[in-house]
Amino acid sequence: MESRCWHVALPAVDGRQYVYRVYAPDDALLADLFWDAWHCHDEGPHPRAYDLFDAARIERVG
C-alpha cells in the first residue's frame, strides 16, 4: 500500500499552530495521524500542544 503525505496542524499554548508532515496510507485513521504528529511535537522543544483531536486540522497533500 502506497503512503501519502498528510499535514497535521496542532494548536499550542503559545497561540501558534505547528504543522507536521505525516506519511500514511489513504485509509489511515485520522486519530492515528493526529497522535503521530502530537507525539512528534511533544518530544520536541516547542511549547505544549493541545491534545484535543477536534482542535487539530488534518489535510491530505497530493
Q: Give the torsion through C-alpha atoms of 14, 19, 8, 60, to 10 deg.
A: 150
pLDDT at 62: 73
- Tell me how far apart the alpha carbons of residues 43 and 32 are, in angstroms, rounded to a whole number: 17
pLDDT digits (tens, 9 = 90+) for 4-61: 999 999 999 999 999 999 999 999 999 999 999 999 888 888 888 888 899 999 999 9
Q: Which domain holds residue 9?
A: 3-61
- Count the domains in the chain: 1
pLDDT at 1 (0 to 100)? 64
Q: What is the pLDDT of residue 27?
A: 92
- State residue 31's pLDDT score: 96
* Residue 9 pLDDT: 97
